[in-house]
Amino acid sequence: MKSSKTIIKGGRFLIPGTDEPVLSGYMTIEDDLITYIGKEEPLAEDGVLVVDGSRLLFMPGLVNTHGHAAMSLLRGYGDDLALQVWLQEKMWPMEEKFTGEDVYWGTSLSVLEMLKGGTTTFLDMYDHMDRVAEVVELSGIRSVLMRGVIGLCPEEVQNHKLAEAISFARNWHGKADGRITTMISPHAPYTCPPDFFVKFVQAAHDLDLPMHTHMSETKREVEQNVVDYGMRPVAHLEKLGMFTRPSIVAHGVHLTDEEIEILARHDVGVSHNPGSNLKLASGVARVTDLLKAGVKVSLGTDGAASNNNLDMFEEMRLTALIHKGVSGDPTAVPAPEALRIATEYGAKSIFLNDVGRLAVGMKADFIAIDIDQPHLLPHTDLLSHAVYSASAKDVEHVWVNGKQVVKHGQCVTLDEEAIRRKAQESFDGLLKR
Amino acid sequence: MKSSKTIIKGGRFLIPGTDEPVLSGYMTIEDDLITYIGKEEPLAEDGVLVVDGSRLLFMPGLVNTHGHAAMSLLRGYGDDLALQVWLQEKMWPMEEKFTGEDVYWGTSLSVLEMLKGGTTTFLDMYDHMDRVAEVVELSGIRSVLMRGVIGLCPEEVQNHKLAEAISFARNWHGKADGRITTMISPHAPYTCPPDFFVKFVQAAHDLDLPMHTHMSETKREVEQNVVDYGMRPVAHLEKLGMFTRPSIVAHGVHLTDEEIEILARHDVGVSHNPGSNLKLASGVARVTDLLKAGVKVSLGTDGAASNNNLDMFEEMRLTALIHKGVSGDPTAVPAPEALRIATEYGAKSIFLNDVGRLAVGMKADFIAIDIDQPHLLPHTDLLSHAVYSASAKDVEHVWVNGKQVVKHGQCVTLDEEAIRRKAQESFDGLLKR
């Protein structure tokens, strides 16, 4: 492969957690890596692509650590309902009908939305994962993929699903120029009986892969866990051995001090899904306490059916806002921390240690937002603007793994027109079937 | 004036609170009024402008019932600070330096942002209000304007400010083709001593105008009111006679059942400012209880310095989300109710009874959003998409008082380039002075 080199000239760069969080200067990308960032202008030899960085704010691509991309087909199909009604009367009957083709177009719709909105990495837990991986290959996005398994079924079906999850994880790990990694993912402690759950733990050990599951999203589910197994979900998962693997749990809304301590001790990440947790009335996660305890907190959109968009800027802002309002402390989750949660901590939470920051040696996954717009002026503090004022639609350019995938707001790797049409057709088809 | 007529052909129209909340059909606008909306295609005579409504979702313009537009100059200038530090070290020292020119450009920046984001009416409480009115005249937006008066000053200064407030309210009421109405606005019970406050009540009676003030935004301010005057703010304002005038209060975060009952009895509106209340850690207003008691709830962005944008779609979504999450009830503030709060109830709250709905005889203040986008597909429930998925930047066209002011995302009444430059210059000047 011929090597490529790009220089961003005269831009502003967000580097939260450093002495100069808004750096004015230059950044060089060679192949898939950031090889320079600083104030000195690098030499632009022949064949180097120079990008004018004025009017633009560069930041790490956003990392979405929990979701079900294909569920975008059910966006707006059932809102403002009690959780059980929503699941049993709306989501499950429709999801049962999903074919691989539906998953392909639903995932395409979501990946298109995510890329255009500045998300460069997403975690996806769903079914028909080969079709999801196809979309990832084609689109140029980075992802962590896993077959999510619900084990409320006969043993034979359980074993079939488990085998599917294992074979998917083995086949796709490291594929698409390394943009795809995989995990092992029993859906939740309340949908996978203990003896089945431990088979996933064993598989994760065998394949040397991390694990992901839903945990403590609702109060009811925590109470039921105590009834069924005599302990709360964190102790339950610890007992089943999940935390002997590198792990990330989604939601973690209802946690005791003791549970937070256990998660911190095992370095288990928590994917905070503020939009979904509010919309489904699950509650408000103890994010400031998790951070204080040293737990890796990251952000997930969850599926679009419970969000109802995949705008990670919105999740980042919700995180910076809600925990202030609920705690009464206006200094809770300050802007630089919210940004790191949405980027750097996100990448670390899904075990991508070379993603999530603008720094030499990191993967060139970054985005540029147009800062010469009324709602992003005056230029007082651009980091604050990125967190408190911007939205997905301010994203002008997106690079993943060193390749530009969104240019002037248009995705250059996917056929947007076809995806829009096919996604609508898929939904119409689901309604009819 | 030559009469004008426009027909919107083949659009989708949001009419929440009716049997058919998403109507497919036609709408006719003659001069400043909606004269037809329905499924029959109206006759397009010569000289009638026909707008193709396909790909577009039409809805009433959003109504922002509390803000300080010029404060956009301080967007991002001080975040994540304790309220007193933010006010005393950041906001007040800068605001003290605001000239009429600063107010003009700060307001222009905000009006530009609001119009482009689908807000067709805004309430503004600030200083140098003549300059604010100029922006309103020029831009074509609708507004309710008032000089907000802080009375923590010698009597002579107090009286001067009061006279200014009265003369502004008298001079501008009904101006700009009726797009400007005015109110009388003592800043807050904690910044206006009782004897001064009652002079505003008297002035409002004399001019036959409504009143607006900040009330019960923070717990601390409520407690101080009890210390100073022996009662909570609602009883205090009732005693001072404010509620003998048509009134709307901003924030109303900390309210008892009894206070909610008093507000309902006097038909006092509450401008809910969710973004600002979260960011400043003021708390979460009792919106579902207010609605249940029959109080008119509307939405305000507050100033951009505590928000930090003026995206009313975001406030609408926050309202639909937060109260579910905090109450534990996923049916709280359903999408149609959130939309009405952001439009119809907003207009009623600021006493504009012919604004806020798409219906015959109403003012033609409406917006169109581009619904053929990934995050607004598939078309399951377009009302849900408007509330849960859309943002300011999805707005394609905006009409106020029958005139189109935003066309394909560009504001046609204001010079955006000049405003962006001047707003930045104003901020730079404030920093230097």
Structure tokens at A392: 């997905």
> Does B203 lie in the same domain as B176?
yes
Instruction: Give B167 to chain A, closest Cα distance, Å.
Output: 32
Asked whether the beta carbons of residue A330 and residue B391 sit closer than 8 angstroms, the reply is no
The dihedral built from the CA positions of residue A270, A274, A278 and A283, taken in this order, carries a sign that is positive
Residue A289 belongs to some domain of the structure:
yes
Q: Looking at the partner chain, which of B109, B328, B416 has a beta carbon nearest the beta carbon of A283?
A: B328
- Domain of B24, CATH number, reads 2.30.40.10
> Does B325 lie in the same domain as B370?
no
State the ipTM, two decimals: 0.97
> Does A203 lie in the same domain as A340?
yes
Q: Looking at the partner chain, which of A314, A377, A394 has a beta carbon nearest the beta carbon of B423?
A: A377
Q: Give the CA angle between residues B101, B107, B112 to the nearest 5°.
A: 130
Residue B406 belongs to some domain of the structure:
yes
Question: Quick one: which of B43, A203, B341, A207 has its CA closest to B35?
Answer: B43
Q: For residue A328, what is the nearest residue in chain B, using CA coordinates? A: B281
Question: Quick one: which of B176, B49, B62 has its CA closest to B116?
Answer: B62
Residue A423 belongs to some domain of the structure:
no
Question: Quick one: which of A393, A372, A66, A382 has its CA closest to B313?
Answer: A393
> Does A374 lie in the same domain as A341?
no
- Check CB contact of B327 with chain A, cutoff 8 Å: yes
Residue A273 belongs to some domain of the structure:
yes
- Check CB contact of B220 with chain A, cutoff 8 Å: no
> Does A321 lie in the same domain as A278?
yes
> Does A370 lie in the same domain as A336?
no
Residues of B in contact with A109 (CB under 8 A): 374, 377
Q: Of all residues in chain B, what percent are helix, strand and coil, respectively (each to 5)? A: 40, 20, 35
Q: Model confidence over B344-368: pLDDT tens digits?
A: 999 999 999 999 999 999 999 999 9
Residue B428 belongs to some domain of the structure:
no
Asked whether the beta carbons of residue A375 and residue B321 sit closer than 8 angstroms, the reply is no
> Does A113 lie in the same domain as A41?
no
Provide the pLDDT for residue A44: 83
Distance in Å from the first CA to the final CA of chain A: 47
B1 pLDDT higher than 70: no
| Residue-wise burial string across B35-47, b where 16 or more C-beta atoms lie within 10 A, e elsewhere | bebeeeebeeeee
Residue A418 belongs to some domain of the structure:
no
Chain B residues 150-209 with a CB less than 8 Å from chain A: none
Distance in Å from the first CA to the final CA of chain B: 47
B131 is in an annotated binding site: no
Q: Model confidence over B274-319: pLDDT tens digits?
A: 999 999 999 999 999 999 999 999 999 999 999 999 999 999 999 9
- Check CB contact of A282 with chain B, cutoff 8 Å: yes
Query: Could you check whether the bond before residue A186 is cis, i.e. omega within 30 degrees of 0?
Result: no
Residues of B in contact with A278 (CB under 8 A): 321-322, 324-325
Residue B212 belongs to some domain of the structure:
yes
Domain that holds residue B14: 5-60+356-411
H/E element holding A265?
A: helix A257-265
B310 and B303 Cβ atoms separated by less than 8 Å: no
> Does B315 lie in the same domain as B166?
yes
How many domains are contained in chain A?
2
A265 is in an annotated binding site: no
- pLDDT tens by residue, chain A, 433 residues: 568 999 999 999 999 999 999 999 999 999 999 999 999 999 988 899 999 999 999 999 999 999 999 999 999 999 999 888 998 999 999 999 999 999 999 999 999 999 999 999 999 999 999 999 999 999 999 999 999 999 999 999 999 999 999 999 999 999 999 999 999 999 999 999 999 999 999 999 999 999 999 999 999 999 999 999 999 999 999 999 999 999 999 999 999 999 999 999 999 999 999 999 999 999 999 999 999 999 999 999 999 999 999 999 999 999 999 999 999 999 999 999 999 999 999 999 999 999 999 999 999 999 999 999 999 999 999 999 999 999 999 999 999 999 999 999 999 999 999 999 999 999 999 999 9
Provide the pLDDT for residue A2: 63
Provide the pLDDT for residue B82: 85
> Does A244 lie in the same domain as A126?
yes
> Does B388 lie in the same domain as B330?
no
Task: Label residue B104 by pLDDT band (50, 70, 90).
Answer: very high
Q: Give the CA angle between residues A70, A74, A76 to the nearest 5°.
A: 140
Q: Model confidence over B169-227: pLDDT tens digits?
A: 999 999 999 999 999 999 999 999 999 999 999 999 999 999 999 999 999 999 999 99
Asked whether the beta carbons of residue A324 and residue B281 sit closer than 8 angstroms, the reply is yes
Q: Model confidence over B233-247: pLDDT tens digits?
A: 999 999 999 999 999
Q: How far is CA B135 from CA A354, B75, B138, B176, B402, in A?
A: 49, 19, 5, 11, 18
Q: Which of A349, A373, A394 is the last residue of a domain?
A: A349
Residue pairs spanning A and B at CB distance below 8 A: 212
Structure tokens at A282: 């699950």
Q: Model confidence over B400-433: pLDDT tens digits?
A: 999 999 999 999 999 999 999 999 999 999 999 9
> Does A386 lie in the same domain as A342?
no
Residues of B in contact with A113 (CB under 8 A): 374-375
Residue A420 belongs to some domain of the structure:
no
- Domain of B68, CATH number, reads 3.20.20.140
- Check CB contact of B80 with chain A, cutoff 8 Å: yes
| Cα pseudo-dihedral A187, A188, A191, A192, rounded to 10 | 80
Chain B residues 110-139 with a CB less than 8 Å from chain A: 110, 112-113, 116-117
Mean pLDDT of chain A: 97
> Does B127 lie in the same domain as B70?
yes
What does the alpha-carbon distance between residue A172 and residue A146 come to, in Å, rounded to a whole number?
Answer: 10
The Cα diameter of chain B in Å comes to: 69
What does the alpha-carbon distance between residue A219 and residue A224 come to, in Å, rounded to a whole number?
Answer: 9
Query: Could you check whether the bond before residue A225 is cis, i.e. omega within 30 degrees of 0?
Result: no
